[in-house]
Structure 1
Amino acid sequence: MTSQQISFPRQHARTMRFTLGAPRSFTVSPDGERVIFLRSGSGTDRSGRLWVLDLPKDGSPQERVVADPEALLGGSAERLSAQERARRERSREGSSGIVDYAVDAAAELAAFALSGKVYVAELRAGTARALPVPGPVIDPRPSPDGRHIAYVSKGALRVVGAEGDGDRALAEPEAEDVSYGLAEFIAAEEMQRSRGFWWSPESDRLLVARVDNSPVRRWWIADPAHPDRRPAEVAYPAAGTPNAEVRLFVLGLDGTRTEVVWDRARHPYLAQVHWSSDGAPLLLVQSRDQRSHLFLAVDTETGSTRTVHADEDPVWLEIFPGVPAWTPDGRLVRIADEGGARVLAVGDRLLTGAQLQLRAVLDIGESDILVAAMAGEEAAEPEIGETHVYRVNELGVERVSEGAGVHSAVRAGAVTVLVSHSPERPGARAEVFRDGKPVATVASRAEEPVLSARVHFTEGGARRIPCAVLLPEGYKESDGPLPVLMDPYGGPHGRRVVAAHNPHLTSQWFANQGFAVVVADGRGTPGRSPGWEKAVKNNMVLTVDDQVEALHALADRFPLDLGKVAIRGWSFGGYLAALAVTRRPDVFHAAVVGAPVTDQRLYDTHYTERYLGDPAEQPEVYAHNSVITDEGLSEAADQVRPMMIVHGLADDNVVVAHSLRLSSALLSAGRPHEVLPLSGVTHMTPQEQVAENLLLLQVDFLKRSLGLDG
């Protein structure tokens, strides 16, 4: 238990937002005898270990460590290659040690990378060892039969025997900008595809992505705090510029090589790949404008493809975890936008309706499909911020998870691991069920927060915008109205109004500094309906309108002082905060602007073009949605609002040029502001002192700017 003397900002930073010590990355063995997972040793230990929970049919469940980085490295420091650091940045992985692993089909052999080497772990025996292969190594994965390990090293896709024998390259890069087996930048950052190779079910061949980055324009990320170091060269596909060229090959262990053919000019994006024993390999490919999807089946002998299904949408089409895939009887499983809802489609049938908004397919069984979904707009009762697990088949829909919260699951056969976050308790509870009956709980070693989030979930305005409101601990009605801090993300891919405890801890800490904190998920945020998300097409500025609507609607029910309203945010939230004080200074009186996308032309192709189109074809759309254009800064120029701009100088996702251009535009317009550059910090802020002091500096700025110093 953490000493009560520690401050919340320090504890929040030291525990990496209370994620350290919590079990994660679960896998269930097909025989139901083991649950494999990652967990560090304590709530302040960053080094992940590989664990197994044994589930004997007639005995007590037992946890055991099968791979400990400290023992495997002999106490020496972990070394990461530049490619591995970039891979972790794409997945927002800030911990160390074992951060990822893959298993064979029986979940008896695991492979993982540690300090640039390949390690394998015998999960039954509980032993782990390094394999003598050339490094640095990225993404090792066992073949389904457990006899081989495929991995990437220096851009080559290599294979080695599970005993360390017969190491060889199946594909080597033909040029400096070419790699085999890795996901390109936008696949990892935007498409939820972190992989670049996939084993066949028979373990005799692989599908391997070949990425050629030579068409992509180069940017340079400098470290001004160390002028003796060369800037890092980054292939960054900004909106309207060329993408990497991605091709796909079938590589046999016998040395055969066959290219997979589809119309890459029409559908250049390789969004998802699925290969199981239930059918031919499946590809999901997208057009560049993301209005067209093809689901393709691959003939692995010839490389030809046939269209299994095609989707078109006048706005855009989403990518979802777990699909496309086959059912055991060979029907296509996908998530589709139909009738204003996000539904589960199996073959030619829609198995869910408007009552649910599908988020992911979790598992496909013999008789049902396990999904994660939110209640739809036509649900009997609103479930603000909740996500539940459901079993779906032709007979109907059954909810598996119980109680308000955010739930997810991993399943194999009769065993399910249900992970549940609740608004009432910190952290998550990971319960193991066999045939629907609880048999074990996976222990969490995460720290208990030194404060508790007291969240009021509600809806605001005519649009019924989902909101969370937090007041200071001990607040009484006689204390009167409070200065307001809007604390949104407020845009695509990110919900902040979630029925869980820990995501609201920072907001509660700000509330305890004397604010009424409001979190509002307006149009563009995911989960409510396709129309809600797609409302931001060509007009992300309307996200400010929803923050204003929520604020004014809640003022009738909560003690909000509308004469003192600030807003803070990071990434899209930083962009939204900058828009708020420049477009609506009549409402917002100060802003903390963290890592904002201020010039949309500087953000990546897949994300930006989905919402704003091609900048060459729609320059006026980009100008309207920019913070730094004349349009963005000219409105209400007589009302100047304080702005603190915060940005990591090492950020290769939202590069610091966004904040520097904003600062230049504000200076040119005669608008005072503060800039806080974070040396050596990326889009994440994992450094303990940096993360802690960022919170303290924000509070100081907000109180000064709103006249609350006393």
Structure 2
Amino acid sequence: MTTRLQLSFPRQFARTQRFTLGAPRAFTVSPDGSRVVFLRSASGTDRAGRLWVLDLDSEARRPQERLAADPGALTGGAEERLSAQERARRERSREGSAGIVGYAVDQAVELAAFTLSGRLFAAELRAGTARELPVPGPVIDPRPSPDGRHIAYVARGALRVTGAEGEEDRALAEPDDEHTTYGLAEFIAAEEMDRSRGFWWAPESDRLLVARVDEREVRRWWISDPAHPDREPEQVAYPAAGTPNAQVRLYLVTLDGERREVGWDRSRYPYLARVHWSAAGAPLLLVQSRDQRTQLYLAVDTETGVTRTVHVDEDRVWLDLFPGVPAWAPDGRLVRIADEGGARVLAVGDRALTGGQLQLRAVLDIGESDVLVSAAAGEEATDPEIGEIHVYRVNELGIERVSEGPGVHSAVRSGRITVLASSRTEVSGASVQVLREGKPVATVASYAERPVLTARVRLCEAGALRIPCGVLLPEGYQESDGPLPVLMDPYGGPHGQRVFAAQNPYLTSQWFADQGFAVIVADGRGTPGRSPGWEKAIKDNFPLTLDDQIEALHALAGAFPLDLGRVGIRGWSYGGYLAAMAVLRRPDVFHAAVAGAPVSDLRMYDTHYTERYLGDPAERPEAYAANSLVTEDGLTALENPARPLMIIHGLADDNVVAAHTLRLSSALLAAGRAHEVLPLSGVTHMTPQEQIAENLLLLQVDFLKRSLPRR
């Protein structure tokens, strides 16, 4: 009899892709309430997503799961091969799994379409059969028409449509040249606007709205792999701050290929941020000005392509985008999320249905009599719930919380059926319940692995600003062990909340704590989840996020065993920028840093993100100088005492390109500053590879122990 050795946490963390494999996700509920469709791999270490159906009205009189599509069976077990465009789409969505990673359905949720290795497949969800359709490839983003008779998709930059059986395949819109595509989201939409789509079916299934993207004016960058000098560098169109964006137009295209352009003032409102088309009203667009201080809600006349303004939002700082909105309510009123009176509220028509007690995050579903939303406690809440996110039903009569108990909850709903996923601090992963009219009728099993450690996080607020924090100490720590070296473990910037009332977000932090550190995760100003003013306080002032890390650290020193003479910080992306800035600008507080993929020169980051916070670099060069690490203002920090700094960067990163780290390293070298650089050949911004993900954790803890020795 053999005994299976328990994996170390770093190996398990890497092998399970952060414990996401085997967990059910991407739920869709059929309008008749009979089926729930979802993705799930076969185990907690299997990367290949499978398509599943949960029959709620089965002949067995109890819910039954069945497999609707198995990628291994459909491809004969062949190795997955992805086109460059598909790899880029997955990088934008941070998708690291394989097999079926996404799908789309018709209105009745009877037909699903998906791709495997660039080939088009369709699954009959009632019958449980799946088949390949013979169409030109590589196929990207297939989507059935609402009536289920056609499937539209993109191949080689052209929008194409085929019958549901693969018949009468044809191109509806073909690219004019190598610079244009139809039906795809441009880089800036997918990376920063959370818009991954480039075409939308009409409810009647007779036409589509199709985005035409022209990248000829976007500057070209080259991503090379120095470990393979025989390979040509990859060319990418990257819109850095202050440089031209892709030109995006929108067309109404019939199934016969007739085309009519949708008109709006694209010079004033170049960003196509959202498109919504439902039976409740005309196609609805949300377009933004380049400075993101003004946005228009536009209704489209489907006969002429002319648009009319339904609503205008303006903000002196910036306007945020939210999932699920804008949209029409069934009675024709506009549903949106807005910043009003210092609160982030749900507005239906001319009326705000929520106030400062909630911080709206997303609209999940719009029903006949209510709106289902995701929200956190707002600043006016009487009993703040640190790190909690709940699901609420909202209408003119009031607000009702659907989710129960402390935790992070999300939901998908159609008609009477709600799929509620709940994560909590005391258990790993998420539990998934299926509710019919609010009453549990089924659960969806998770095959995700159970972590070999348990995060023991203490949630609290720190300092006068009441900064949300999670604090983790080593397992078995006793007061007699004395003060511990501190590791700040933030993201700390826009769109990057880290303090959640859930177990899995703290697993890596707990592992670092078990190596002998007191770990602090702090969400200061600029992070989401609290109030518009909290997020927008960092306008022109990213170093404010460092000030809040310091305030949290010092405020917690009286309540936890923190050795303020040994303080390290680690982070990735914005967190990497924050970590590097910590040891360069505040070496009096921070004694070592691990900076992963840091944005060292903000002039080299993209337009929609960077200009939102700092403006146009040609008009406001002083803002970029003050916030970047390698501009003249940033380099004045090199006069400070040197602290150990490890910089890590994937050389294949097309989001935060490796030039950020190379420029920072050159500046440090020119100043005679010792530092370590760890280049990762062939690695992108995600670092999904198992061995790399595992060894990165081990190398970081080794560096921190060397840099923060016992006194």
| TM class, shorter-length | over 0.9
Q: Write the distance in 2 (CA, Å) between the matches of 1:19 and 1:57.
A: 29
Map of 1:529 onto structure 2: 531
Q: Where do residues 333-482 of structure 1 align in structure 2 (5 Å cutoff)?
A: 333-482=335-484
Aligned amino acid, residue 37 of structure 1: F
| TM-score, structure 1 normalization | 0.99
Map of 1:213 onto structure 2: 215
Aligned amino acid, residue 23 of structure 1: P
Map of 1:648 onto structure 2: 650
Q: Write the distance in 1 (CA, Å) between the matches of 2:257 and 2:426.
A: 56
Q: Write the distance in 1 (CA, Å) between the matches of 2:665 and 2:258.
A: 55
Q: Deviations over 1:552-579 (max 9, x none)?
A: 0000100000000000000000000011
Contact 1:585-1:636 at 8 Å conserved across structures: no
Map of 1:584 onto structure 2: 586
Map of 1:9 onto structure 2: 10
Q: Write the distance in 2 (CA, Å) between the matches of 1:574 and 1:278.
A: 45
Gaps of 5+ in 1: none
Q: Write the distance in 2 (CA, Å) between the matches of 1:479 and 1:122.
A: 62
Contact 2:241-2:607 at 8 Å conserved across structures: yes
In structure 2, relative to structure 1, the CA distance for the partners of 1:69 and 1:229 (3 Å cut) is same
Q: Write the distance in 1 (CA, Å) between the matches of 2:253 and 2:367.
A: 29
- Aligned partner of 1:495 among 497, 503, 506: 497
Shift of 1:670: 1.2
Shift of 1:191: 0.2
Contact 2:638-2:671 at 8 Å conserved across structures: no
Map of 1:114 onto structure 2: 116
Q: Write the distance in 1 (CA, Å) between the matches of 2:97 and 2:221.
A: 27
Q: Write the distance in 1 (CA, Å) between the matches of 2:6 and 2:328.
A: 54
Q: Where do residues 140-179 of structure 1 align in structure 2 (5 Å cutoff)?
A: 140-179=142-181
Aligned amino acid, residue 47 of structure 2: R
Shift of 1:91: 0.2
- Aligned partner of 1:267 among 258, 269, 275: 269
Map of 1:68 onto structure 2: 70
- Aligned partner of 1:298 among 274, 297, 300: 300
| TM-score, structure 2 normalization | 0.99
Q: Write the distance in 1 (CA, Å) between the matches of 2:148 and 2:271.
A: 31
Q: Write the distance in 1 (CA, Å) between the matches of 2:141 and 2:705.
A: 47
Q: Write the distance in 2 (CA, Å) between the matches of 1:3 and 1:263.
A: 64
Contact 1:419-1:428 at 8 Å conserved across structures: yes
Q: Write the distance in 1 (CA, Å) between the matches of 2:500 and 2:689.
A: 26
Contact 1:181-1:208 at 8 Å conserved across structures: yes
Q: Where do residues 220-369 of structure 1 align in structure 2 (5 Å cutoff)?
A: 220-369=222-371
Question: 2:23 aligned with 1:30, yes or no?
Answer: no
Shift of 1:638: 4.2
Q: Write the distance in 1 (CA, Å) between the matches of 2:316 and 2:568.
A: 37
SS where residue 635 of structure 1 aligns? Answer: helix
Contact 2:111-2:148 at 8 Å conserved across structures: yes
Q: Write the distance in 1 (CA, Å) between the matches of 2:178 and 2:67.
A: 40
Question: 2:612 aligned with 1:610, yes or no?
Answer: yes
SS where residue 683 of structure 2 aligns? Answer: coil
Aligned amino acid, residue 72 of structure 1: L
Shift of 1:75: 1.2
Map of 2:636 onto structure 1: 634
Map of 1:52 onto structure 2: 53
Q: Write the distance in 2 (CA, Å) between the matches of 1:638 and 1:165.
A: 69
Contact 1:141-1:150 at 8 Å conserved across structures: yes
Q: Write the distance in 2 (CA, Å) between the matches of 1:388 and 1:170.
A: 43
Q: Deviations over 1:197-256 (max 9, x none)?
A: 000000000000000010100000000000000000000000000000000000001221
Superposed CA RMSD = 1.0
Q: Where do residues 687-706 of structure 1 align in structure 2 (5 Å cutoff)?
A: 687-706=689-708
Contact 2:90-2:96 at 8 Å conserved across structures: yes
Contact 2:584-2:640 at 8 Å conserved across structures: no
Q: Write the distance in 1 (CA, Å) between the matches of 2:302 and 2:108.
A: 24
In structure 2, relative to structure 1, the CA distance for the partners of 1:638 and 1:379 (3 Å cut) is closer
SS where residue 139 of structure 1 aligns? Answer: strand
Contact 1:4-1:450 at 8 Å conserved across structures: no
SS where residue 198 of structure 1 aligns? Answer: strand
Shift of 1:634: 2.1
SS where residue 639 of structure 2 aligns? Answer: coil
Map of 1:39 onto structure 2: 40
Q: Where do residues 659-698 of structure 1 align in structure 2 (5 Å cutoff)?
A: 659-698=661-700
